[in-house]
């Protein structure tokens, strides 16, 4: 390829980045979930699905991960492709190589990049300079892949009409809360968040989501009010990765926000409980609820692998090539 051709390619190509839920419209979000449900059936039936043969994804992870890492890796291997896992400490990034150089170099080797890091601006900068799709595998602000497996789990249990459900978020106004807020806005379902004072979701994200929403996104203080009649109850750790120093203070401030049997009694009779995991039993959720009949967390964790297949297939344009 000549330099001129390469420049033309760079100017015209727009990679399928997925950095926040708001990057995609409702149809696209639902299409990914539908596809994941189909691929789950496909996998359960033992049918081969290897559209990624000859492709390699890179995964730059700056924070620990069990589910996101392994489910992306398994998804890619099952699809016939390869994975290059790159703890960020092992890259020249750690010695000051700019993100824009890293993105352009990796674009020459790889077909897609999954990134777990701190600031959202890091994935944005990588995407700005990358010719290959950049997928946000969690930042301090968003966890957009996780939310798709969570909504997939809700749809499997409650059916596709989310607009009639009461969905509650109980706990920290964190990255997961932000992705739920954006999903509620895009997909038009009502969401009630109960967060302690001082731990609200980002005001800008909330306001923007509300401006575009067709159903109410409520922020309240009382966890009982959020749980009352809820069909879906979500929670997450009180101290996210990077907030370890705040753990003790947060435990004090969040105790009333524990998802326990008493709170669950207020919910709808067939309510389900979601937690993206890892869970801290005795803090944001009790052992009894996590291991109880309303908990769907293991299925939710499994669904990450199916949704990641759908995301990778879309991001790398593999379905078109399938014909
Ligand atoms: N839910 C989730 O993202 O888990 P990991 O941190 O283990 O990837
Ligand atoms: N809010 C949590 C989610 C972990 C998957 C964190 O960022 O640590």
Q: What is the mean pLDDT of residues 255-266?
A: 98
Q: What is the DSSP string of 169-188?
A: EES--SHHHHHHHHHHHHHT
Do 90 and 237 fall within a single domain?
Answer: no
When pLDDT is cut at 50, 70 and 90, the band that residue 320 belongs to is: low
Residue 323: pLDDT above 60? Answer: no
Same domain, 27 and 150: no
- The 10s digit of each residue's pLDDT in 161-201 is 999 999 999 999 999 999 999 999 999 999 999 999 999 99
Residue that is written with structure tokens 């926000």 in the block? 257
Examine the domain organization and report whether 309 and 282 are in the same domain.
no
Tell the residue nearest (CA) to atom 6 of ligand 1. Answer: 65
Q: Which atom of ligand 1 is nearest to the CA of 70?
A: 8
CA–centroid distance, 67 to ligand 1, in Å, is: 4
Q: Do both 137 and 150 map to the same domain?
A: no
Domain total in the chain:
2
Q: Are 249 and 290 in contact (CB under 8 A)?
A: no
Predicted confidence (pLDDT) at residue 310 exceeds the cutoff of 50: yes
Q: How confident is the model at residue 14 (pLDDT cuts 50, 70, 90)?
A: confident
Percent of the chain's residues with pLDDT above 70: 95
Residues 197 and 313 in one domain: no
Segment 125-130 shows an average pLDDT of 98
Q: Residue for token digits 């509300």?
A: 210
Nearest atom in ligand 2 to the alpha carbon of residue 243 is 8
| pLDDT at residue number 311 | 98
pLDDT of residue 102: 98
How far, in Å, from the CA of 69 to the mean position of ligand 1?
Answer: 8
Domain shared by 153 and 286, yes or no: yes
Report yes or no: 293 and 317 within 8 Å, Cβ to Cβ.
no
Region of 184 (left: φ > 0; alpha: ψ -120 to 50; beta: rest) is: alpha
43/21 same-domain check = yes
Residue 154's CATH number: 3.40.50.1370
Average pLDDT of the segment spanning 50-79: 98
CA of 245 to the centre of ligand 2 (A): 15
pTM listed for this prediction: 0.94
What pLDDT digit, counting tens, does each position of 77-123 carry? 999 999 999 999 999 999 999 999 999 999 999 999 999 999 999 99
CA of 6 to the centre of ligand 1 (A): 37
Give the nearest ligand 2 atom to 175 CA. Answer: 1
Mean pLDDT of 244-254: 98
Q: What gap in Å lies between CA 292 and CA 287, rounded to an integer?
A: 8
Alpha-carbon distance of 316 to 263, in angstroms, equals 43
pLDDT of 10 strictly over 80 = no
Out of 73, 175, 303, 304, mutate this one to test ligand 1's pocket (max ligand atoms within 8 Å of CB): namely 304
Separation of 70 CA from ligand 1 center, angstroms? 9
Q: Which atom of ligand 2 is nearest the CA belonging to 276? A: 5
Residues spanned by the domain of 274: 146-301
DSSP string over 42-82: HHHTT----TTTT-EEEEEESS--SHHHHHHHHHHHHTT-E
- Strands 167-170 and 134-136, sheet pairing: unpaired
Residue 264 and residue 182 share a domain: yes
70 alpha carbon, closest ligand: 1
Phi and psi at 289, nearest 5°, equal -75, -45
pLDDT over 90 for what percent of the chain?
94
């Amino acid at each position: 390829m000549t330099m001129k051709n390469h420049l033309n390619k760079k100017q015209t190509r727009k990679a399928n980045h997925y950095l926040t839920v708001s990057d995609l419209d409702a149809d696209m979000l639902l299409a990914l979930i539908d596809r994941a449900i189909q691929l789950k059936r496909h996998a359960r039936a033992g049918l081969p699905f290897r559209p990624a043969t000859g492709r390699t994804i890179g995964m730059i992870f700056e924070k620990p991960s069990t589910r996101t890492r392994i489910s992306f890796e398994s998804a890619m291997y099952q699809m016939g492709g390869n994975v290059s896992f790159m703890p960020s400490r092992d890259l020249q990034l750690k010695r000051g190589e700019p993100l824009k150089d890293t993105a352009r170099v990796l674009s020459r080797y790889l077909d897609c990049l999954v990134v777990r890091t701190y600031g959202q601006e890091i994935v944005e900068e990588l995407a700005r300079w990358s010719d290959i799709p950049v997928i946000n595998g969690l930042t301090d602000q968003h966890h957009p892949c996780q939310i798709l497996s969570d909504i997939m789990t809700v749809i499997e249990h409650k059916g596709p009409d989310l607009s009639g459900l009461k969905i509650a978020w109980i706990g920290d106004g964190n990255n997961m809360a932000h992705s739920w807020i954006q999903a509620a806005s895009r997909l038009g379902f009502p969401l009630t968040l109960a967060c302690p004072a001082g731990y609200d979701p980002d005001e800008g994200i909330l306001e923007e989501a509300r401006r575009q929403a067709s159903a109410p996104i409520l922020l309240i203080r009382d966890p009982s009010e959020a749980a009352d009649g809820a069909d879906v109850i979500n929670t997450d750790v009180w101290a996210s990765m990077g907030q370890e120093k705040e753990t003790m203070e947060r435990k004090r401030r969040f105790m009333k926000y524990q998802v326990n049997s008493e709170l669950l009694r207020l919910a709808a009779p067939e309510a389900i409980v979601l937690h993206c995991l890892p869970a801290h039993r005795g803090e944001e959720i009790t052992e009894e609820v996590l291991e109880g009949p309303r908990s769907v967390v293991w299925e939710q964790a499994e669904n990450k692998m199916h949704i990641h297949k759908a995301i990778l297939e879309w991001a790398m344009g593999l379905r078109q090539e399938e014909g």
